[in-house]
Amino acid sequence: MERESMEFDVVIVGAGPSGLAAACRLMQQARETGQELSVCLVEKGAEIGAHILSGAVFEPRALNELFPDWQERGAPLNTPVTEDHIHYLTSATNGKQIPHPLTHKTMHNQGNYIISLGNLCRWLGEQAEQLGAEVFPGFAAQTAIIEEGVVQGIITADMGVAANGSKKESYMPGMELRAKYTLFAEGCRGHIGKQLIDDFNLDKGKDPQHYGIGIKELWDVPPEHHQPGLVVHTAGWPLSENDAMGGSFLYHIENNQVVVGLITDLNYSNPYLNPYDEFQRLKHHPVISQYLTGGKRVSYGARAITKGGLQSLPKMTMPGALLIGCDAGTLNYAKIKGSHTAMKSGMVAAEVVFKAIQAGDEGGKDLDGFTQAFEESWLYRELHQQRNFGPLVHKYGAIAGGGLAWIDLNLFNGKLPFTLRDSTPDHAQLKPASACSNIEYPKPDGKLSFDKLSSVFLSNTNHEEDQICHLVLTDSDLPIRDNLPEYDEPAQRYCPAGVYEVITNDDGSKHFQINAQNCVHCKTCDIKDPAQNITWIAPEGGGGPCYPNM
| 446: enclosing H helix or E strand | none
Same-domain check for residues 338 and 483: no
Same-domain check for residues 501 and 367: no
Is residue 258 situated within a structural domain? no
DSSP designation for 241: G
Task: Supply the pLDDT for residue 257.
Answer: 97
β-pair partners for 79: 114
Same-domain check for residues 34 and 126: yes
Same-domain check for residues 403 and 454: no
Could you tell me which of 168, 133, 98 has the C-alpha nearest to residue 11?
133
Is residue 28 situated within a structural domain? yes
CB 29 within 8 A of CB 351: yes
Same-domain check for residues 463 and 334: no
Task: Supply the pLDDT for residue 396.
Answer: 82
Round to whole Å and give the CA distance between 374 and 376. Answer: 5
DSSP-based three-state secondary structure for 143: strand
Same-domain check for residues 18 and 166: yes
Give per-residue pLDDT as tens, 333-359: 999 999 999 999 999 999 999 999 999
DSSP-based three-state secondary structure for 516: helix
Among the candidates 424, 439, 474, a domain finishes at 424
Q: How many CB atoms lie within 10 A of CB 419?
A: 12
472: alpha, beta or left? (left if phi > 0; alpha if psi -120 to 50):
beta
Is residue 166 situated within a structural domain? yes
Read off the CATH number of the domain in which 490 is found.
Answer: 3.30.70.20
Show the low-confidence residues of the chain (pLDDT under 50). none
Report how many domains make up the chain: 3
Round to whole Å and give the CA distance between 379 and 92. Answer: 38
| 50, HSE (Cβ side, Cα atoms, 13 Å) | 21
Round to whole Å and give the CA distance between 529 and 292. Answer: 33
Round to whole Å and give the CA distance between 303 and 519. Answer: 11
Round to whole Å and give the CA distance between 339 and 342. Answer: 5
Q: How many CB atoms lie within 10 A of CB 64?
A: 12
Q: How many CB atoms lie within 10 A of CB 245?
A: 22
Give per-residue pLDDT as tens, 456-484: 999 999 998 899 999 999 999 999 999 99
Same-domain check for residues 332 and 457: no
Same-domain check for residues 409 and 468: no
Structural domain boundaries, residue 136: 5-68+118-208+310-385
Same-domain check for residues 362 and 394: no
Task: Supply the pLDDT for residue 491.
Answer: 98
Same-domain check for residues 471 and 513: yes
Q: Tell me what percent of the chain is helix, strand and coil, each rounded to the nearest 5.
A: 35, 25, 45
Same-domain check for residues 408 and 326: no
Same-domain check for residues 326 and 414: no
Task: Supply the pLDDT for residue 408.
Answer: 86
